[in-house]
Amino acid sequence: MENRSCLTIVLAAGDSTRMKSSKSKVLHKIAGLPMIAHVTRTLADVGVKDAALVLGRDADTVREAAAVPGLSLETFLQSERLGTAHAVMAARAAIERGYDDVLVTYGDVPLVTGAPFLAAREMLSAGHDVVVIGFETDKPTGYGRLIETDGQLVAIREERDASEEERRITRCNSGLLAINGRLALELLERIGNDNAKGEYYLTDIVEIAKADGRSVVSVQADESEVIGCNNRAELAVIERIWQQRRRHELMVSGVSMMAPETVFLSHDTELAPDVTLEPNVFFGPGVTVEAGAVIHAYCHIEGARIAAGTSVGPFARLRPGAHLHAGSKVGNFCEVKNAEIAEGAKVNHLSYIGDASVGAAANIGAGTITCNYDGVNKHRTEIGARAFIGSNSALVAPVKIGDNSLVAAGSTITRNVPADALAFARSRQTVKERK
């Protein structure tokens, strides 16, 4: 395989009509990452060198979303959406350079792995001219069906053009196709648009190559690897498959999940071995959790670093820039944003800590609020090591509380408190005898 040149063409120009969306389908996200980026990352991971991306709707945004370090993507514009074969021909200049193998894959088939590409290329190197990646499914609606006689692939029939009987076929076209690069242009040029949609269907290449006596074969892939996304119900199914796959990988690598089906991961969530997740935890992008941390039930976490031996939740929200250092604790109904919670510090109940630093072993009492926003700007709150903030205190930023200091419960702190001090900022209690 090493000595065969290969061009991989990714089609992402479509209008995405069935998504009923204000943006291109391939920009819709799976695990927080646009569908098209899942495809291009996989190509980069399997060492693809020459890749062409065909753009149409939302071309600039799709181009940006598709960029991955280490993969050079040559882009082509399909100015009118006239079908998948027409889209491939938009990359004509690349095909004309002459490759041994030409692979086509679709931007709306985001879970594809390297395996089917490799299998298809092996068939080309064994001398076949067109290799279709097919799959077996119990929900064939919407897919092109593989028409086979005596085990030989003779055509691919699109749903709209299929007869009643053909629609009952459960072996479908994944959209991944490999073509002998020496024949590709000649075959593609002969594809017409005489079908129900009036489009140039790439899938017609099968019948055209067959008529020339070329060798056309299909290779089977697993449905979970090649499932396509045409509407939002399918998007949700793909998300579910992605989540299942990733949760499984993480559990096998040492992460405990009590109810894995209730945990939602982002494409980049990093969980170390011996992390424990209780039920109903959601990870947005940019989260790292180190060994031994326990995330209790019902937490929403994004953009956060959670060090070893920490405890989070239940019912905690960690927002971007939250950094929990080793052994610290953020408990129930607390929100932490852009804040350092140093070693062993505790924010246990009903607090908001934003744009702040909390010193080592400090204790933040229930209901403490850092008032970080004055309506125009955000300001910082610095709380020293071993400080004790009494319950229901408001710390009006910018403000500093020194090491070892104590703030009395119910205080509204507007001025700095030095180290080793005791601050009261509340009205004194008066008690009057009733007659």
Question: In this complex, which beta carbon is closest to Mg ion, that of residue 238 or of residue 263?
Answer: 238
Say whether residue 361 binds ligand UD1 (CB under 6 A): no
As a whole number of angstroms, the distance between CA 435 and CA 425 comes to 31
User: How are strands ordered across the β-sheet holding 422-423?
Assistant: 256-257, 276-277, 294-295, 311-312, 329-332, 346-349, 363-364, 388-389, 406-407, 422-423
Which is catalytic among the residues 38, 128, 296, 349? 349
Task: Give the one residue of 48, 62, 66, 106 binding ligand UD1; rule: CB under 6 A.
Answer: 106
Q: Which of 37, 217, 23, 29 is nearest to 120 (CA)?
A: 217
Task: Give the one residue of 42, 203, 266, 351 binding ligand UD1; rule: CB under 6 A.
Answer: 203
Of all residues in the shown chain, the one whose CB is closest to ligand UD1 is: 144
Helix (H, G, I), strand (E, B) or coil at 272: coil
Q: Which two tokens stand for residue 292?
A: 């031994």
Say whether residue 228 binds Mg ion (CB under 5 A): yes
Say whether residue 230 binds ligand UD1 (CB under 6 A): yes
As a whole number of angstroms, the distance between CA 338 and CA 320 comes to 6
* 84 Cα distance to chain centroid: 25
Question: In this complex, which beta carbon is closest to Mg ion, that of residue 228 or of residue 284?
Answer: 228
Q: Which two tokens stand for residue 422?
A: 């005791």
Q: Which helix (H) or strand (E) holds 241?
A: helix 232-252
Min dist. Cβ of residue 50 to ligand UD1 (A): 18
Q: Which residue shows structure tokens 């190197």? A: 125
By CB under 5 A, the count of residues binding Mg ion is 3
Task: Give the one residue of 8, 42, 75, 173 binding ligand UD1; rule: CB under 6 A.
Answer: 173
Task: Give the one residue of 76, 99, 201, 298 binding ligand UD1; rule: CB under 6 A.
Answer: 201
DSSP for 285-345?
Answer: SS-EE-TT-EE-SSEEE-S-EE-TT-EE-SS-EE-TTEEEPTT-EEEET-EEEEEEE-TT-
Whether residue 349 lies in the annotated active site: yes
Question: In this complex, which beta carbon is closest to Mg ion, that of residue 90 or of residue 277?
Answer: 90
Min dist. Cβ of residue 209 to ligand UD1 (A): 15
Task: Give the one residue of 32, 34, 110, 144 binding ligand UD1; rule: CB under 6 A.
Answer: 144
Binding mask 100-129 for Mg ion (x = CB under 5 A): --------x---------------------
Question: In this complex, which beta carbon is closest to ligand UD1, that of residue 230 or of residue 348?
Answer: 230
Stretch that binds Mg ion, among 84-92, 126-134, 144-152, 220-228 (CB under 5 A): 220-228
CB 282 within 8 A of CB 265: no
Cis bond leading into 116, ω under 30°?
no
Min dist. Cβ of residue 290 to Mg ion (A): 40
Question: In this complex, which beta carbon is closest to ligand UD1, that of residue 7 or of residue 12?
Answer: 12
Say whether residue 14 binds ligand UD1 (CB under 6 A): yes
Say whether residue 278 binds Mg ion (CB under 5 A): no
Binding mask 15-54 for ligand UD1 (x = CB under 6 A): ---------------------------------------x
DSSP for 141-203?
Answer: TTSPEEEEETTEEEEEE-GGG--HHHHT--EEEEEEEEEETTTHHHHHHT----STT----GG
Task: Give the one residue of 6, 7, 9, 12 binding ligand UD1; rule: CB under 6 A.
Answer: 12
Let me know if 392 is exposed, middle or buried by CB neighbors in 10 A (0-12, 13-18, 19+): middle
Min dist. Cβ of residue 54 to ligand UD1 (A): 5
Say whether residue 230 binds Mg ion (CB under 5 A): yes
Min dist. Cβ of residue 194 to ligand UD1 (A): 13
Helices 59-66 & 35-45, crossing angle to 10 degrees?
A: 40
Task: Give the one residue of 30, 94, 109, 191 binding ligand UD1; rule: CB under 6 A.
Answer: 109
CB 10 within 8 A of CB 51: yes
As a whole number of angstroms, the distance between CA 337 and CA 120 comes to 48
**149-168: contacts with ligand UD1 (CB under 6 A):** 156, 158
Task: Give the one residue of 32, 34, 116, 175 binding ligand UD1; rule: CB under 6 A.
Answer: 175
Say whether residue 84 binds ligand UD1 (CB under 6 A): yes
Active-site residue list: 349
Interface residues with ligand UD1 (CB under 6 A) are 11-14, 54, 56, 78, 81-84, 86-87, 106-109, 143-144, 156, 158, 172-175, 201-203, 228, 230
Interface residues with Mg ion (CB under 5 A) are 108, 228, 230
